[in-house]
Amino acid sequence: MTPKQAWVLGLASSASFMMALDSQIVTTALGTIRRDLSAPIEQLEWTVNAYNLSFAVLLLTGAALGDRFGRRRMFVTGLAVFTLASVGCAVSTDIGTLIVARTAQGVGAAMVLPLSLTLISAIFPPEQRGKAMGLYLGLTGLATFSGPFIGGAIAEGLAWQGIFWLNLPVGVVAVLLTLRRVDESTGPTTRFDLGGVVLVTLGSLGIVWGLVRGNLAGWDSAEVLGSLALGVVLVVAFVFWERHSEAPMLPMRFFRLRAFSTANAANFCVFASLYGTLFFLPQYFQTAQGLGPFEAGLRMMPWTATLMICAPIAGKLADKYSARTFVAAGLLLQTAGMSWIALAAAPGTSYATLLPGLIVSGVGLTSAMPAAQRSVVGAVRPPEIGQASGAFMMLRIFGGVFGVAVTVAVFAGAGAHGSPEEFGDGFTAAMGTVVAFAFAGMLVALGIPGTRPAGTPRAPALSGTDRGGNR
């Protein structure tokens, strides 16, 4: 690894670390925020959903802005927006202000995270990308590993504002080092697809809004059905627009590449299963077993630690072996691990009984993620990596939102929060849904090409200047 590659990998991973840690801590500290700001549960939900909403609907736009105006420039802009929005969260004195600031955090993250993948993929040749992405996910996994522990400590009595103040020094240092150490690059075209941006943003907003509001407003309500229908219509219009655009922000021909389409679909299932698990597992330890937030966070750590440990190993091995093997086998392990949890979990179940399922599930998820990323970006030419990364990030966030929405609906139909026994019934049903997502993803992953698909150009190492300005 060259010094330039090391700087890009380190800065991109640090940005991802900051945002992953922020999300993990906020989720675990919601109880403390609710008490301090006297927020009803409907408004408290929006401290999470506002971030996810703005993040999901602007991901492709963030990638397109980087390709048009400069990837480093937009990466730095996103870091600055996220950092300033974090300060806004820290100084919020009411729930409305906090929701607005969380929305702005999502805007910043939508520029940073797809471009972090783009910067890594552009500077590492194909034979090194799996290892680089594994290291990237490993550092992100450190945030995932420590997030429940830190969030639990905050929820036990520390000031929740510290969650957001942590981002200020990290963000400032990351901005300064990126400007100094990362070269500027652009995408394959300098034209900006305004029509595509408007259609995909509004279409994504409609779909995500419907998924987020479904459990509260009712899946058969005019608001939810109208939002979902409008979103689907606008996404179809986006596809039509992109097929006829001279400079599309997301070329539809990508989806004719089997590696791109199957790996994205499998990764959608990975994140549906992951987020469904992440939403309910801390609640199981607290509601069904009566533990405090801090103790629940500690019990999550063997599951979250696998991302830090296994992702770099899986990413490195994916450079030598088939991505299909790691994605399919990883989702099979997630299916097995969460099946164990679904069958064994009850109010009186010992932690030792649950631990094997947690470890197997975590190893499976972290084996699948870097291999899926490698398959997606490896399917396109180097100048098109930014567009592919934006699509990959957007679809995985859609997967997470969809996974939470569906598992919550299943939980509500089978159980409730009224007693440990009622929660246990709902939790078992929700984990059964998580298993179904993982199993469906495994079946899709079997369609990922075992080797480079015929007709796909092998991406060369970026030793010179490519058409998009990468060096």
Q: What is the pLDDT of residue 264?
A: 92
Q: Side chain identity at 316, as an amino acid letter?
A: K
- Which three-class secondary structure state does DSSP give residue 166? coil
Q: Please, are residues 80 and 254 in contact by the beta-carbon 8 Å criterion?
A: no
For residue 460, the model assigns a pLDDT of 37
Residue 468: predicted pLDDT: 37
Interval 4-33: pLDDT, tens: 889 999 899 888 888 877 776 776 676 677
Where do the H-state alpha helices sit in 379-454? 385-414, 420-445
The pLDDT of residue 82 is 96
User: Cβ distance 405 to 67 under 8 Å?
Assistant: no
pLDDT value, residue 165 = 86
Distance CA 214, CA 405 (A): 7
For residue 189, CA distances in Å to 114, 383, 393 come to: 18, 9, 21
What pLDDT is attached to residue 433? 94
Sequential pLDDT tens for the chain (471 residues): 788 889 999 899 888 888 877 776 776 676 677 778 887 756 776 787 788 778 877 877 887 788 888 889 999 999 999 999 999 999 998 889 999 999 999 999 989 988 887 888 788 887 787 778 777 876 776 666 666 666 666 656 567 787 788 889 989 999 999 999 998 887 765 566 778 878 888 888 888 788 778 777 888 899 999 999 999 999 999 999 988 887 787 888 888 899 999 999 999 999 999 888 887 887 788 888 888 767 877 788 788 777 667 777 776 777 677 788 889 999 999 999 999 999 998 888 999 999 999 999 989 988 888 888 888 878 888 777 777 877 887 788 888 878 887 888 888 888 877 788 888 888 999 999 999 999 999 999 999 887 544 344 444 333 333 333 333
Per-residue pLDDT tens over the stretch 199-240: 888 888 888 788 778 777 888 899 999 999 999 999 999 999
Please compute, for residue 379, the number of CA atoms within 13 A of its CA located in the half-sphere on the CB side. 29
Q: Is the dihedral of CA 209, 54, 69, 8 positive or negative?
A: negative
Cα–Cα distance measured from residue 147 to residue 25, given in angstroms and rounded to the nearest whole number: 5
Which residues does 244 contact at the CB level (< 8 Å), separation at least 6?
none
The answer to whether the predicted template modeling score (pTM) of the entire model surpasses 0.95 is no
CA separation for the pair 471, 466 (Å, rounded): 7
Residue 45 DSSP class:
H
Residues 175, 176, 178, 179, CA torsion sign = positive
Positive or negative, the Cα torsion across 25, 27, 33, 35?
Answer: negative
- Which string of DSSP letters, residue by residue, matches 113-146? HHHHHHHHHHHS-HHHHHHHHHHHHHHHHHHHHH
> What's the confidence (pLDDT) of residue 303?
82
